[in-house]
Copies of this chain bind each other. A is one copy, B any other.
Amino acid sequence: MTSAPIRPDLITTLEDRGYRLTDPRRRVAEVIETRGESFTAEALCEDLKGVGRATVYRTIKLLVEAGALCKLSMPDGAPKYSLARVEHHHHTVCVRCSKVGEFRDSTVERVLRSLGREVSGEIVGHRMEVYVTCENCLAELR
């Protein structure tokens, strides 16, 4: 059940936001797109030996700001990045292979709305991650 991306490719995303199209950025975008699965920033640096670490991090940051990448945390808090497919969503992350799934659950939003009536103050954001052991990993463990 792999949904096709509805978003423009990463480099176009950057272009649309008025950033210059540079070689390093093209390479970062390309590697992220061919990777597919979730990744750490350092792993990306590994795959981009010719590109400076700072540039890799900077590009990641721009893409996260643009909403094209999601930054998510593993149970221990270690950050990972993954391509965003749908607009507003949450993630399932396999704690064994780091495979990321997305879900959009209106119930989550409903929880937040009802919570809005209970909590004092104003809700300004939220974060939700669901940790799973994916089918593949379950199979391998059996």
Instruction: Spell out A's residues near B (CB within 8 Å).
Output: 1, 71, 73, 75, 77, 79, 92, 94-95, 101, 103, 105, 107-108, 110-112, 114-115, 118-135, 137-138
- Pick from B95, B111, B127, B129: contact of A107, CB below 8 A: B111
A123 nearest CB neighbor, chain B only: B132
> Considering the chains assembled together, what is the distance between the CA atoms of A110 and B114 in angstroms?
14
Inter-subunit contact A133/B122 (CB<8 Å): yes
Could you show 22 A-B contacts with beta carbons less than 8 Å apart?
A73-B73, A73-B77, A75-B125, A75-B127, A92-B115, A95-B124, A107-B110, A112-B130, A115-B130, A121-B134, A121-B138, A122-B132, A122-B133, A123-B131, A124-B132, A126-B128, A126-B129, A126-B130, A126-B131, A127-B127, A127-B128, A127-B129
Inter-subunit contact A133/B127 (CB<8 Å): no
> Considering the chains assembled together, what is the distance between the CA atoms of A133 and B116 in angstroms?
11
Min CB distance A23 to B, Å, is 29
